[in-house]
Amino acid sequence: MFKVMLLVKRKPGMSMEDFVDYYENVHAARDKSGSGIVHYARHYLRPAPSFTDDETAEPPFDAVTEVWYSDRAAYDAIREKLVQKPAWVADVVADEERFMDRARCRTVFVDSRVSEMHP
């Protein structure tokens, strides 16, 4: 699997509830057929105290969106296709601007490692 994570910040002034509602019921509900995506999940972040003190700070992002492709070639192929569909890309960007602070969002590739845990 080739994994991409999107670190997403909501628009200033938008409540977390409205952000989650829009992301789930409008943006995530968009047709993704032909996208090459094999896994699409959103993880919403909530403030929590650290293990060393009780201070709770607002996270720098409001959601981590997980997108998996079968491999890097599938991801690259989709990116190449999108270059040929500027109207579609503009539509997605316009939708993102309705609920995301796009200037503060980031995209990263993920190299996962899982540790076996023993009771």
In whole angstroms, give the CA distance from residue 103 to residue 115: 34
| pLDDT tens sequence across 59-116 | 999 999 999 999 999 999 999 988 898 998 999 999 999 999 999 999 999 999 999 9
Q: Would you say residue 48 has pLDDT above 90? A: no
Fold of 2-50+57-110: Alpha-Beta Plaits (3.30.70)
| Pick from 23, 10, 22: nearest CA to 103 | 10
| pLDDT tens sequence across 31-46 | 888 889 999 999 999 9
* Other C-beta atoms lying within 10 Å of the C-beta of residue 14: 16
pTM score above 0.85? yes
In whole angstroms, give the CA distance from residue 79 to residue 72: 11
| Cα–Cα separations (whole angstroms), residue 46 to 12, 19, 51, 81, 88 | 16, 13, 15, 35, 32
Q: Where are the domains of the chain?
A: 2-50+57-110
